[in-house]
Amino acid sequence: GDLKYAVYDGASWVVSLVDSEGDVGSHSSLSFAPNGQPAISYYEGEPQNDLKYAWYDGSTWRTMRLDRQGDVGTYTSLAFDGGGMGHISYFDATNGALKYAWDDGFGWLTATVDTAQGDGETGLFTSLALRPDGRPSISYYATNELMNNGVLRYAEFDWIKWSITTVEGGGGNRHIGTYTSLAFDADNRPSISYLEGVNYNL
């Protein structure tokens, strides 16, 4: 139940222990800050159920809890902007919602991006990417249990509000949009890969 980190030094893999406090390390996402140092977002399971963050300061790994409001921190996705500020998307299982954490230079802040409708959940299988202009965007999966379907969604932040679009899905017995991965081209155009769960196609 530990979080570990492996790096290839040119001759062999070197494995180090990052966090051993509780049952930690699932739903991890690794990214490198502009200074070249690694950082990881991840989930600590029972009994804490928190979003955690680890970063290497050049000599040792340091860890902190970013969100402990309910059962939060699964499906994490971490990215850094050009100024070295971290951005993380993740799932809030208590409220069935998509959440976002970011470092504003003074500390980490959290916000809810999209909330579930009815008995569904939104914010699973998140993938966060930064547009070339630095704005964060997130692809994710949202379910509606009453209609027995799931859809692929895309959220984009304009520094004022989040705009949310359903990319594909809808209708009964259709589950489209799990295992998402988001990236941008040089012209700020988003692309998303994902699973279509009816016929199990990519």
What pTM did the predictor assign?
Answer: 0.95
CA distance 107 to 89: 16
CA distance 88 to 79: 7
The residue with greater pLDDT, 189 or 169, is 189
Write 14-20 long-range contacts (CB < 8 A, 24+): 16/61, 17/61, 18/54, 18/61, 18/63, 19/52, 19/54, 19/61, 19/63
Average pLDDT score over residue span 66-78: 98
pLDDT digits (tens, 9 = 90+) for 129-138: 999 888 999 9
- Judge contact between 25 and 2, C-beta under 8 A: yes
pLDDT bin (cut points 50, 70, 90) of residue 202 is very high
Count of all residues that appear for the chain in the document: 202
